[in-house]
Amino acid sequence: MKANSVKAGLSIKKRMIGLLAAVLVAFALGGCYMTPRETYTLAGTGLGAGGGALVGSAVGAPGTGAIIGGLGGALGGYLIGNEVQHRYYGNPYGYGYYRPYYPYY
């Protein structure tokens, strides 16, 4: 009986450490200013990893699915974020939220 409680204690301890690490990363990234390219890349990575883990768990390899899904999501998020950022920064008239600053006119 005692061996099971020790294993359960370690499992709960590992889960709490993982949860604490995730919360710290979320707080660290939450206060950062990110361009649209960075924002969409980060969101694509998270969504791709989550979806890949779900699909991977159906075939018995959730870790592999999460890695492949995360890479695919990061690529898709980068491409979409890059296009969004070019629409705002590439506009010669400076319309949009990310308007460049030109102090001489």
Q: Give the Cβ contact number of residue 67 at 10 Å.
A: 16
Are residues 41 and 81 located together in one domain of the fold?
yes
Candidates 37, 34, 35, 33; CA nearest to 77 is 37
pLDDT at 101: 57
**Local confidence pLDDT in tens for the 105 residues of the chain:** 455 555 666 688 888 888 898 888 888 877 777 788 888 998 999 899 999 999 998 998 888 999 999 999 999 999 999 888 887 776 555 555 555 555 554
Tell whether 23 and 41 lie within a shared domain. Answer: no
- Give the three-state DSSP class for 42: helix
Q: Quote the pLDDT of residue 69.
A: 93
Do 51 and 22 belong together in one domain? no
Domain with 7, as residue range(s), is 1-32
Whole-model pTM?
0.61
Residues 49 and 61 in one domain: yes
Same domain, 40 and 67: yes
Q: What pLDDT sits at residue 102?
A: 56
Q: Are residues 15 and 57 in the same domain?
A: no
Residue 43 and residue 60 share a domain: yes
Are 21 and 47 contained in the same domain? Answer: no
Q: How many domains does the chain have?
A: 2
